[in-house]
A and B are shown apart, each in its own frame.
Chain A
Amino acid sequence: DQQVKQNSPSLSVQEGRISILNCDYTNSMFDYFLWYKKYPAEGPTFLISISSIKDKNEDGRFTVFLNKSAKHLSLHIVPSQPGDSAVYFCAASPSTSGTYKYIFGTGTRLKVLA
């Protein structure tokens, strides 16, 4: 049972345009969410996070939106750059146990075309 789903395995966007990566989750106990970026032969790199008390968090070109009622979050990258080409994972965790154990989605491969 996949509790965190990234339904688009790949996405291609023109340089300078907006990239929107989506993530859905099923567990209503999830209240912390992370986005990671992964280049080939490297470990995932933390990008941005959001907790359930917010519906938006912004860091430079990256903005994460959380819709708790729809159990949906999205990552917006504006403007997209060729160096953003990577696999993006969303991850979610409940905090009720006092321990953050993140469940990852299967990833979306973003390709930014120059």
Chain B
Amino acid sequence: ETGVTQSPTHLIKTRGQQVTLRCSSQSGHNTVSWYQQALGQGPQFIFQYYREEENGRGNFPPRFSGLQFPNYSSELNVNALELDDSALYLCASSLGSPGQNYGYTFGSGTRLTVV
């Protein structure tokens, strides 16, 4: 039990659709990061949220957006889905602020398939 729960575990969407992925972090984990892991690759940083505000972003287009809520849950939204968006999406939360290096606890991920 990692304490970080992601839903759904698997999802199939059609190109052009929109998707929302959800993550529930451990209590007190104010920092949450989202990663995209394509097959055979390491996780790629999408963005990070701290206390409900975006705190850094990787090399992803604006159609990738997020939200963080006061109850330590967060969402990743992807608009206008493309086939290349097919990947495992990982949520990772951390105790403390982004400037404190406590390391991350990862969820098991959501496997998104775009057809």
Contact = CB atoms under 8 A, between A and B. Distances in A.
Interface string B48-77: 100000011010000000000000000000
Contacts of A101: 33, 45, 48, 56, 58
Contact of A102 (B41, B45, B55): B45
Nearest to A2: B42
Interface residues of B, number: 28
Interface in A57-114: 89, 91, 93, 95, 97-107
A103 B107 contact: no
Contacts of A95: 99, 101
Given A44-B90, A46-B103, A100-B101, A107 B45 contact: no
A98 B100 CA distance: 8
Given A43-B2, A44-B43, A102 B104 contact: yes
B78 interface: no
B101 A49 contact: yes
Contacts, number: 69
B98 A105 contact: no
Contact of B56 (A36, A45, A97, A104): A97
Size class of the A contact interface (CB-based, 8 Å): 20 to 34
Contact of B42 (A46, A49, A93, A105): A105
A95 B104 CA distance: 15
A40 B33 CA distance: 21
Given A41-B108, A43-B2, A101-B48, A106 B40 contact: yes
A89 B99 contact: no
B109 A43 contact: yes
Contacts of B109: 43
Interface string B66-98: 000000000000000000000000101010001
Interface of B: 2, 4, 6, 33, 35, 40-45, 48, 55-56, 58, 90, 92, 94, 98-99, 101, 103-109
Interface of A: 4, 6, 32, 34, 36, 41-46, 49, 51, 89, 91, 93, 95, 97-107
Q: Which 6 A-B pairs give the minimum distances between C-beta atoms?
A: A104-B42, A43-B106, A98-B99, A99-B98, A43-B108, A104-B43
